[in-house]
């Protein structure tokens, strides 16, 4: 039996997401873009050490359809390095696809320049690819918008639900045709891979901020079973997840780097697959992505909110962290909070970036001073004021006692 073919599966890089980081004056890119580039470098080094045979990029290279040239250049440097190790297949994701079919995609330049060992899959197509450990039959299923899926259908008079059902039927038919095309190319024992950028029904929902562009058509998971594929490598969901424990494994590799706080608890990385006909031994390789931490400190009933916040910060390792700090305050404690002291402490702790220091001040519902406040004495007005401001009863009595002493001494 021949040695299994070693496959790298990654996706959803979203390079150009510049949340929570300043620009580096030397490189001209955001520090957060540098984080993503570092994750790419770490992945490529893993592939080199593992003697990769085939690299699959399942779409969404950039965070927008119009990435800036510097970001495109840095991505190209990494893809060229990867293509020197093994054949590289790159799918168009929704973020890579042009809004109009007449415009070039953000990945089209690789085909235009005929870059060796790189295939940019822009349409559904199967190919037989030679690797140093044997041939692989690959079915490429790049992103198709609902409008493209419905291009040949008569949508007149259809409801939204009927359009969605038609788009899903069209997607399923294209995937079935792709599997049949792969069967023709794999008359022997060559393993078969499906690399796609689409939604599968039942996949865990998107985290905030990385929802697909526009409405999606989703294929049923069971429609990918018994189709002859040995492994289904997916992009389009930044959350890593394996959707099927049976054959074939259906896997979203997820993103390489966190881009928002909704991903703070998500593992990021890529998949490493040892592939043979009828078997795929795969594992998720986690990368040490930038840590993102959201802290919430309740200071409504403390005497010194600044001290309370500093005490909470000391409980965490904040070095290299993107931090969001939410502080709950009472009407009395708001003015006692010292922002500068807190920011100085965060800088000393080595925080990478302060995303926000927000204050949630609990203000009581204002009450009327009375039907005829003009008839109240100064001390009665002061007492009503303390009630409106929800001053704690013990402190209220202390303040009123001092006020009586002042009035009596006049």
pLDDT digits (tens, 9 = 90+) for 263-309: 999 999 999 999 999 889 999 999 999 999 999 999 988 889 999 99
Alpha helix ranges (H) inside 288-392:
305-314, 339-348, 378-388
Give the residue with greater pLDDT, 112 vs 375.
Answer: 112
Phi, psi dihedral angles at 81 (to 5 degrees): -60, -40
For residue 54, give both structure tokens: 């085939």
Q: How many whole angstroms separate alpha carbon 196 and alpha carbon 182?
A: 14
Task: Choose among 302, 297, 314: nearest CA to 359.
Answer: 297
- Kindly give, in sequence order, each residue whose CB lies less than 8 Å from that of residue 29, ignoring residues fewer than 6 positions away: 23, 37, 70, 71, 74
For residue 145, give both structure tokens: 């918008």
Helices (H) and strands (E) in the chain, counts: 9, 17
Q: How confident is the model at residue 212 (pLDDT cuts 50, 70, 90)?
A: very low
Task: Choose among 230, 277, 244, 290: nearest CA to 56.
Answer: 230
Q: What is the predicted pLDDT for the residue at 65?
A: 82
Q: What is the predicted pLDDT for the residue at 37?
A: 95
- Identify any residues that bridge with 86 across adjacent strands, giving them in sequence order: none
Mean pLDDT within 147-168: 74
144-169 exposure pattern, b = at least 16 Cβ within 10 A, e = fewer:
bbbeebbeeeeeeeeeeeebbebbbe
pLDDT tens digits, 59-91:
999 988 888 888 999 999 999 999 999 999 999
| CB-based contact 99:148 (threshold 8 Å) | no
Query: CA 175, 245, 131 angle in degrees (round to 5)?
Result: 60
Mean pLDDT (the chain, rounded)? 86
Q: How many whole angstroms separate alpha carbon 59 and alpha carbon 236?
A: 7
Highest mean pLDDT among 277-286, 329-338, 393-402: 277-286
| CB-based contact 60:96 (threshold 8 Å) | yes
Q: How many whole angstroms separate alpha carbon 42 and alpha carbon 74?
A: 14
């Amino acid at each position: 039996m021949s040695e299994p073919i070693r496959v790298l599966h990654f996706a959803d890089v979203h390079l150009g997401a510049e949340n929570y980081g300043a620009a580096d004056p030397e490189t001209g890119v955001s520090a957060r873009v540098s984080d993503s580039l570092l994750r790419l470098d770490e992945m490529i080094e893993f592939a080199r050490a593992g003697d990769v045979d085939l690299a699959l990029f399942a779409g969404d290279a950039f965070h927008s359809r119009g990435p800036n040239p510097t970001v495109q250049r840095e991505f190209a440097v990494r893809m060229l390095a990867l293509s020197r190790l093994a054949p590289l297949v790159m799918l168009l994701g929704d973020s890579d696809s042009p809004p109009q079919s007449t415009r070039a995609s953000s990945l089209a330049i690789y085909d235009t320049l005929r870059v060796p060992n790189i295939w940019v899959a822009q349409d559904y197509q199967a190919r037989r690819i030679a690797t140093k450990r044997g041939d692989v039959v690959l079915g490429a299923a790049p992103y198709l918008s609902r409008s493209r899926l419905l291009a040949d259908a008569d949508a007149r008079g259809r409801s939204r639900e009927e359009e969605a059902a038609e788009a899903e039927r069209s997607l399923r038919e294209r995937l079935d045709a792709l599997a049949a095309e792969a069967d023709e190319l794999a008359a022997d024992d060559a393993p078969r891979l499906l690399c796609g950028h689409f939604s599968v029904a039942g996949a865990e929902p998107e985290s905030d901020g990385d929802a697909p562009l526009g409405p999606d058509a989703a294929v049923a998971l069971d429609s990918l079973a018994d189709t002859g594929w040995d492994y289904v490598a997916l992009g389009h969901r930044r959350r890593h997840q394996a959707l099927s424990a049976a054959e074939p494994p259906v896997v979203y590799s997820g993103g390489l780097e966190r881009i928002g706080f909704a991903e703070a608890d998500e593992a990021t990385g890529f998949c490493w697959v040892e592939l043979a006909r009828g078997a795929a031994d795969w594992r998720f390789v986690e990368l040490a992505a930038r840590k993102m931490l959201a802290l919430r400190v309740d200071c409504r009933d403390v005497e010194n909110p600044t001290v309370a916040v500093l005490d909470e910060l000391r409980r965490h390792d904040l070095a290299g962290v993107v931090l969001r700090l939410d502080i709950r305050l009472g009407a009395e404690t708001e003015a006692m909070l010292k922002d500068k002291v807190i920011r100085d402490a965060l800088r000393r702790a080595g925080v990478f970036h302060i995303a926000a220091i927000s204050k949630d001040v609990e203000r009581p519902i204002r009450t009327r001073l009375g039907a005829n406040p003009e008839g109240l004495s100064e001390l009665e007005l002061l007492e009503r004021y303390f009630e409106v401001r929800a001053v704690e009863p013990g402190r209220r009595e202390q303040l009123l006692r001092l006020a009586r002493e002042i009035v009596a001494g006049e």
